[in-house]
Amino acid sequence: MKKRAGDEELFSVENKYFDTMQKSLPLKMFISCLACCLIAILALAFVGDYILMSVHISILIATIIAAFLQARGKITVETACLIPILMLCFLFTPISWFSYDGFFGYTPYVTILFAVMITLTYYRRIQALLLGLYSALLLTLSIYWLFRSLATHSLGFALTSFLGYSATYAILIYFLLTTKRKSKEISSRIMDRSVRDDLTGLFNRRGIVQILEAEERLYLSKNEDFSILMLDVDRFKSINDLYGHTIGDAVLRSIATCILDAIRSSDYATRYGGDEFLILLSNTKRDVSRLVFERIEAAARVIPGYSFPVTVSIGLAMRSECTTTDETIALADKRMYEDKDRRREEIEKAADR
């Protein structure tokens, strides 16, 4: 089955919400980490636990340095927020675990909190890596404590503590991951409906805006030229008037199929409005764009199932011909109408003979 053009870019559009969360949530955790470190330093100084106090001071210093580097543009927000998380998980956790004898202190509670922070804050591979490594560390510490505590406590007490903590940790993380995955699926379906045209399945104008912006950035940074094809169905109003809107809708779906069959999976097709389509051919040259132009035009002429001929008018413009993307669209649109006028003149001349 042919992959729909633009599916990879659609995935990017659908995940824009999650990319925003990926930046905003760590920032909130970053601020929370600063506040918690300050409170922990004061509390530990009060009780005289200078080892853990020094750990929190080092985390606080690292957090401030990370914030400075991020403000200077040296590292990303996610990297800046990852530094204190790593120190809390892989420095504070083992030191605190041994300082308060495993399950007898407050450490098990904060380790679950750290795991929840990772689960809710990060996405994709970094979440799986962090959560996997941290879970392995906690499992190692827990098993070590279990065997060590058998010398001073009953087997029942040791096993109850170990199993209760393990079950709480596993169940909580499982439900958080499941809930987040379902939430992402629902949001993706909602986003898909917002950027897709219901009738043709192509992008709508909202969807193509995101793609055009990305293509413009590539053109300006890497000089990757792209072309715009503007297409509309000839005499479409007459088709609707004579044969009805159901047939008219079927024609639009047929044209959409012709377009998808003619372009690459890296290109993008849009129902721009009414019977007008916009096609973006990414990182391409004029001769290749012209071949796509001719392929779509030829495919439309042989669409089966209609008692009338289906033809289209197409205009082609390269980004390098213009100063902006909007000008490129306008030029392609102008050439489409010139193509339509040329066809009309040919028909009129043929009728006069």
Task: Sketch out the chain's domains with CATH numbers.
Answer: 7-195 (no CATH), 205-352 (3.30.70.270)
| Predicted confidence (pLDDT) per residue in 139-193, tens digit | 999 999 988 888 787 888 888 988 999 999 999 999 988 888 887 776 666 556 6
| Predicted confidence (pLDDT) per residue in 229-279, tens digit | 999 999 999 999 999 999 999 999 999 999 999 998 889 999 998 899 999
**Half-sphere exposure for 70 (CA within 13 Å, toward CB):** 18
What pLDDT, on the 0 to 100 scale, is given for residue 291? 93
